[in-house]
Amino acid sequence: IDEVVAIIKKASDVDNARRTLMKRFKLSESQAQAILDMKLSRLTTMERRKIAEELENTLKEIDYLRAILGAPELLDEEIVKELKTIRERFGDERKTTIIDEDEIAGSYEVIPREEQVVIVTRAGYLKRMSETSFTRLRSRIMPVDKDKDIDYPIQIIRCDYDDNLMVFTEEGRCYSPKVSLLPEVGGGQRGKTLRVLLGSEREERISFAISTKDGNERYVVFVTKNGLIKRSKLNLFFNARRKGIIAMILKNGDRVVSGTLTTGKDDLIISTARGQVIRLSEEDIRPSGRNAGGVIGIKLLKDDHVIKITNAEDKKFLILVTSSGYMKKVSLNEFGKKRRASMGVKSFSDIVIVGEVISVEAVNNEDTVLVSLSNGKTYQLSVTKVKELKRGSRGVKIKEVTGRKRVMNLIKFPVR
């Protein structure tokens, strides 16, 4: 002790004293600092005796613990003893509830049971509105902002407030936000993107979305820009949640452009920008898991790409529209079934004149479609008012498409 005191008194500063103590007594930096922090009162005979006793007890504790660790029987006895102690101290009923983070928002709200309408846009926005608001707005469901790029709906979905959506992106991933998390807005507002809704790190373009309502025994079918097709059971994606999961493996810069919900025995229509259409049975496509790619669905011409897949089951017509505004309704009987990986048939006789095909929908005369134009306006049209023509015909020019206006998209209003 006298030597320690002498070292501290002779040191020029605290750092010098610490280094000298470490060198002289082979101490660690923490041990040397503990000596420097010690009060002089602890140097009395009584305090020194306490330190010696503390050291002795610590060494005994070390020996005891080493004995336990070296004998499995003693270790098991110690674990059982400590668990019993924990049970006696904390064995009461849980006072909190464990809730999935996706279920927190809105889980205890008292909500009206009115059906909801979800709108998915090309720019990646999601929004919802009540059935009453949607019916009132109809053709005014999108904002018109001349200072921003034109956005337009790519899908309209009817669902319940407490449903989950399955949102599939071009990158082949699936996310599952709750409908209740989507912003309820009017027609003049954009909504929110997936990244904002889920707090994800990257922005992904949405290809399509479906509701999980009554989906246990159903399938989802994807189609890619390069003509690949994939069929998977819908329940594989029920655990997508916030972070998302892989839905389809993509290669060579390919991307998912469209998808549809099926029963497992439906007829499907794949259409391309250059007017090729193939009708095939989904039973020709073997179901595959999430971590799989696709198989060839349609053989593409040079410089062509797939634009859409649509479910044709129980439908009588195809309605087709081009970028230049040519529209027609064609009987599905003119599109015979083909084996997958064939080229299909032409849906327009002269694609150079009518422009690229923008959208194809399988419909009945009772249906209504929504047409989006490049000036930001949308208008609804009853299928009964679309002229039925032959498959190879040019179609009828939409009167609203004048000058430099172009058709951006055509989608079907969901049936109640």
Q: With bands split at pLDDT 50, 70 and 90, how would you rate the model's confidence at 14? A: confident
Which of these three, 10, 35, 58, is where a domain ends? 58
- Of residues 47 and 341, more confidence is placed in 341
Domain co-membership, 366 together with 226: yes
Q: With bands split at pLDDT 50, 70 and 90, how would you rate the model's confidence at 88? A: confident
Which of these three, 13, 30, 58, is where a domain ends? 58
Token pair in block for residue 313: 């089951």
Torsion angles phi and psi, residue 132, rounded to 5: -65, -45
Please state, rounded to an integer, the average pLDDT across all residues of the chain: 87
Q: How far apart are CA 11 and CA 24, in angstroms?
A: 13
Residue 315, domain member (yes or no): yes
Q: How far apart are CA 371 and CA 132, in angstroms?
A: 21
Q: What is the CATH number for 2?
A: 1.10.268.10
* HSE toward the beta carbon, residue 31, CA cutoff 13 A: 10
Nearest to 227 by CA among 280, 323, 294: 294
Domain co-membership, 138 together with 43: no
Mean pLDDT of 382-396: 93
Torsion angles phi and psi, residue 7, rounded to 5: -60, -45
* Radius of gyration over every alpha carbon of the chain, rounded to an integer in angstroms: 35
pLDDT one-digit tens code per residue, 259-316: 999 999 999 999 999 999 999 999 999 999 999 999 999 999 999 999 999 999 999 9
Q: Is the pLDDT of residue 54 over 50?
A: yes
Answer for the pair 127, 118: CB distance below 8 angstroms, yes or no.
Answer: yes
Q: With bands split at pLDDT 50, 70 and 90, how would you rate the model's confidence at 107? A: very low
Torsion angles phi and psi, residue 2, rounded to 5: -60, -40
Domain co-membership, 272 together with 373: yes
Nearest to 212 by CA among 102, 306, 363: 102
DSSP 40: G
Domain co-membership, 273 together with 383: yes
Burial class (CB in 10 A: 0-12, 13-18, 19+), 269: buried
Instruction: Give the pLDDT of residue 262.
Output: 95
Percent of the chain with pLDDT over 70: 88
Kindly provide the residue ranges of all beta strands, DSSP E only, lying in 4-151, ordered along the sequence. 116-121, 125-130
**Domain count of the fold of the chain:** 2
Domain co-membership, 197 together with 50: no
Q: Specify the DSSP element, H or E, that contains 310.
A: strand 306-311
Mean pLDDT of 379-386: 92
Domain co-membership, 294 together with 401: yes
- Of residues 38 and 352, more confidence is placed in 352
Mean pLDDT of 394-415: 90
- Distances from the Cα of 385 to the Cαs of 4, 180, 296, 408, in angstroms? 103, 36, 36, 20
Domain co-membership, 171 together with 300: yes
Nearest to 6 by CA among 30, 31, 24: 24
Give the residue carrying structure tokens 């083909």: 338
Q: Is the pLDDT of residue 190 over 90?
A: no
Instruction: Give the pLDDT of residue 106.
Output: 47
Domain co-membership, 290 together with 357: yes
Task: Report the amino acid identity of residue 185.
Answer: V
Q: Which domain holds residue 23?
A: 1-58
Instruction: Give the pLDDT of residue 273.
Output: 97
Nearest to 266 by CA among 235, 303, 298, 220: 220
Domain co-membership, 151 together with 48: no
Token pair in block for residue 391: 């498959």
Q: How far apart are CA 318 and CA 332, in angstroms?
A: 6
- Of residues 4 and 187, more confidence is placed in 4
Domain co-membership, 125 together with 243: yes
Q: What share of the chain is helix, strand, coil (3-state, %, to 5)?
A: 30, 30, 40
Residue 264, domain member (yes or no): yes
Lowest mean pLDDT among 86-95, 141-150, 236-245: 141-150
Which of these three, 58, 77, 95, is where a domain ends? 58
Q: Is the pLDDT of residue 251 over 90?
A: yes
Instruction: Give the pLDDT of residue 150.
Output: 80
Q: With bands split at pLDDT 50, 70 and 90, how would you rate the model's confidence at 412? A: very high
Answer for the pair 272, 306: CB distance below 8 angstroms, yes or no.
Answer: yes
Q: What is the CATH number for 204?
A: 2.120.10.90
pTM confidence score: 0.71
Measured distance between the N- and C-terminal CA atoms of the chain, rounded to whole angstroms = 91
Instruction: Give the pLDDT of residue 35.
Output: 84
Residue 100, domain member (yes or no): no
Domain co-membership, 54 together with 185: no
- Of residues 212 and 356, more confidence is placed in 356
Give strand pairing partners of 330: 318
Q: How far apart are CA 277 and CA 274, in angstroms?
A: 9
Residue 311, domain member (yes or no): yes
Task: Report the amino acid identity of residue 98.
Answer: I
Residue 80, domain member (yes or no): no
pLDDT one-digit tens code per residue, 113-127: 678 899 999 999 999
Strand duo 165-169 + 206-211: pairing: antiparallel
Q: Specify the DSSP element, H or E, that contains 210.
A: strand 206-211
Mean pLDDT of 214-220: 78
